[in-house]
């Protein structure tokens, strides 16, 4: 992430210039959004780099760790999708990769034979136990300047932001799709949609 730190100053400088063009625009929200994106990408890269020696990608380990956290070590794929922020198609690919490496297995559900459970194997369990200390050390270094009370405050604030983000996304999902005439440019003839800005 060190290589991206200078981008913080560049972002602030860009937004300061933007505010001179639009003085009444509060740019703090834009700055937060940009920082969230930058930090998210950087954290994802860091976790992948930390996991590379173990031969597993971050999203695969996320699924494996979720199964590890279950008392019985099992879960439905649909449950894992919700808990790891993956689509069903992505979960299928991730599961295939983990099954191929004998880190999880697919078994018929004891509660509903029409469904399939994903189960962590002994090899998957052992991998999680080896990887977590390495990840913990990396994250401890990352958050070393945040004392425990400050961490909890930040967690609570981020949860509230996440809740508002979910509401915003739900609002977009509920909005009706624009028809051909609604999507066209004001001066465009019927049947010609407006071009998206690039």
Which residue would you say has higher pLDDT here, 197 or 104? 104
Same structural domain, 12 and 39:
yes
Q: Give me the mean pLDDT over the 178-188 stretch.
A: 45
Tally of structural domains, the chain: 2
Q: Write down the pLDDT at residue 184.
A: 42
Does 125 fall in a domain? yes
Does 6 fall in a domain? yes
Same structural domain, 30 and 70:
no
Task: Give the lowest-confidence range in 14-28, 40-54, 93-107, 171-185.
Answer: 171-185
Does 160 fall in a domain? no
Does 158 fall in a domain? no
The pLDDT of residue 70 is above 60? yes
Query: Does residue 47 contact residue 58 with C-beta atoms inside 8 Å?
Result: yes
Same structural domain, 61 and 119:
yes
Task: Give the lowest-confidence range in 17-21, 32-36, 65-69, 74-78.
Answer: 17-21
3-state secondary structure of 161: helix
Q: Write down the pLDDT at residue 177.
A: 53
The pTM of this model reads: 0.69
Same structural domain, 64 and 84:
yes
Q: Write down the pLDDT at residue 175.
A: 60
The pLDDT of residue 176 is above 60? no
The pLDDT of residue 197 is above 60? no
What strands lie across the sheet with 116-120, from one edge to the other?
74-75, 116-120, 104-108
Structure-token pair, residue 152: 């909890």
State the DSSP code for 178. Answer: P
Same structural domain, 21 and 64:
no
Containing structural domain, residue 20: 1-54
Same structural domain, 47 and 82:
no
Task: For 152-172, write each residue's pLDDT tens digit.
Answer: 898 999 999 989 988 888 888
Same structural domain, 64 and 77:
yes
Task: For 90-109, write each residue's pLDDT tens digit.
Answer: 999 999 999 999 999 998 87
Does 7 fall in a domain? yes
Same structural domain, 129 and 64:
yes
Q: Write down the pLDDT at residue 170.
A: 86
Same structural domain, 76 and 134:
yes
Query: Does residue 104 contact residue 110 with C-beta atoms inside 8 Å?
Result: no
Phi, psi of 185, deg, nearest 5: -65, 155
Task: For 104-153, write each residue's pLDDT tens digit.
Answer: 999 887 777 777 889 999 999 999 999 999 999 999 998 888 888 888 89
**Nearest CA to 56 among 117, 100, 6?**
100
Q: What is the CATH number of the domain that holds 128?
A: 1.10.10.10
């Amino acid at each position: 992430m060190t290589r991206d730190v200078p981008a913080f100053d560049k972002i602030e400088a860009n937004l300061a210039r933007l505010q001179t063009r639009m003085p009444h625009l509060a740019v703090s929200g834009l700055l937060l959004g940009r920082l969230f994106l930058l930090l998210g990408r950087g954290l994802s890269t860091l976790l992948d780099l930390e996991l590379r020696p173990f031969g597993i990608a971050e999203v695969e380990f996320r699924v494996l760790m979720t199964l590890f956290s279950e008392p019985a070590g099992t879960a439905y794929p649909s449950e894992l999708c919700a808990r790891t922020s993956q689509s069903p198609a992505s979960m299928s690919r991730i599961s295939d990769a983990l099954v191929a490496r004998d880190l999880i297995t697919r078994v018929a559900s004891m509660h509903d034979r029409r469904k399939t459970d994903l189960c962590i194997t002994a090899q998957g369990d052992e991998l999680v136990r080896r990887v977590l200390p390495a990840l913990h050390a990396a994250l401890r270094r990352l958050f070393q300047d945040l004392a425990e009370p400050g961490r909890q405050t930040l967690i609570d604030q981020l949860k509230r932001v996440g809740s508002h983000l979910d509401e915003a996304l739900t609002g977009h999902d509920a909005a009706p799709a624009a028809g051909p005439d609604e999507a066209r440019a004001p001066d465009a003839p019927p049947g010609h949609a407006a071009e998206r800005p690039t």
